[in-house]
Amino acid sequence: MQDTHTNSLGWLLDQELGSVEGVRYAVLMSSDGLLKARTATIGQDDGEKFAALTAALRAAGKAWDEFTGGAGMRQLLIESVGCIGLTTTAAKNTMLSVCTTGPDADVGLISHHMVRLATRVGHELVTEERVPVAEGGSSA
């Protein structure tokens, strides 16, 4: 299994989000929850779990959007007692998700850095849509 921190995207996440005050960790994933990159502050296994959870939350957000008129979803925010989670589209079939260090983190600042990263290098972050083997996709 590929280490999703030592790749160039993991380094980029560390550089762009890992140093932002209030960011506990960040992951880059396909829209169906496959981890592509992570900051050094989250391990591989937890990064994969976080990516899967984020994909499930995004699916719920898309259902919410469709139910309320279907104009499109920009960002997902979930606030719990201990932290805040932010998810945004980074590129085609690709999402960027951040967990904050606490509930008082500057969500505006963190969101700004997320959007800046996606805008700056979004063309490099594109994930090709995976097609099931039964529909002619690769088994790899």
Q: What is the DSSP string of the chain?
A: ---TTTSHHHHHHIIIIITSTTEEEEEEEETTS-EEEE-TTS-HHHHHHHHHHHHHHHHHHHHHHHHTT-----EEEEE-SS-EEEEEEEETTEEEEEEESSTTS-HHHHHHHHHHHHHHHHHHH--PPP--GGGT----
Give pTM, 2 decimals.
0.83
Judge whether residue 140 has pLDDT over 60. no
Q: What is the dihedral of CA 112, 118, 119, 121, to 10 degrees?
A: 140
pLDDT for 72: 84
Whether the per-residue pLDDT at 130 is higher than 70: the answer is: no
Chain mean pLDDT for the chain:
87
Note the pLDDT of residue 131. Answer: 66
